[in-house]
Structure 1
């Protein structure tokens, strides 16, 4: 397997890098949404990601939104390689920590995903497989 994106909605563009030296692939909003101070919203990106089993996609808010008080509710989203097997798309869970409402227009770049590799501890012996979607690996 390699790594890449599958878009599930024809009106949404595939995540892409802005420049040849950009680390992150920009995710756009498929909808317009106004986020008032203190409000939380979940936007379905309409994107699925696939990557190798020793990789994950780290999702971060774009700095242009962060400077206006918008952050991901979990700070950094971690999309494990086996999330692809659930058939689910990536969700952008946002909160407005600022003092002003923020309008996100359809097509605005909201989040960036960076492919990362990870290592395992010598005594790692986990054999449990994912059985669900969003947040399913926690107790």
Structure 2
């Protein structure tokens, strides 16, 4: 029985994607690398594919955070601060749950990033619900990024 982890999405199966891993015994985050060479344009948001999807328990989410070294050394941030990957994003019908990084380059110059560069880290979290929230609303995710509430 799978509890939580990462897999490579079908479109990237043959592209030698590195599965995330913690680098030390006390690391909270699993380092996430970009799946291909990209150029992060100065003053712009770039959507960076990871080639990954994540599975987890239904009362968990995966928080995606920019790696502090990337942020400090290269003036990068996520446009939404922190990415949140819900449990039902995994294997959704629109994009198979492919995790994408929305990176904003605050610098005045473009930054070329090579495939395999660790840009982010993922941390699995439990979440709580309020009294009276009906966990089984009967709704099933039908798409990828930004698909809930549509």
TM-score in same-fold range (> 0.5):
yes
Aligned partner of 2:54 in structure 1 is 49
Aligned partner of 1:4 in structure 2 is 5
CA RMSD of aligned residues (A): 1.5
Relative to the length of structure 2, the TM-score reads: 0.86
- Aligned pair count? 139
Aligned partner of 1:69 in structure 2 is 75
The correspondence for 1:36, drawn from 35, 41, 59, is: 41
Unpaired runs of at least 5, structure 2: none
For the 8 Å contact 2:54–2:97, the answer to whether it is kept is no
> Is residue 109 of structure 1 aligned with residue 115 of structure 2?
no
CA distance in 1, matches of 2:38, 2:142: 31
Relative to the length of structure 1, the TM-score reads: 0.92
Instruction: Name the SS of the counterpart of 1:85 in structure 2.
Output: coil
CA distance in 1, matches of 2:87, 2:26: 24
The Cα offsets for residues 41-98 of structure 1, whole Å up to 9 and x where unpaired, read as: 1111100100000000000000111112111111100000000030231011111012
> Is residue 84 of structure 1 aligned with residue 93 of structure 2?
no
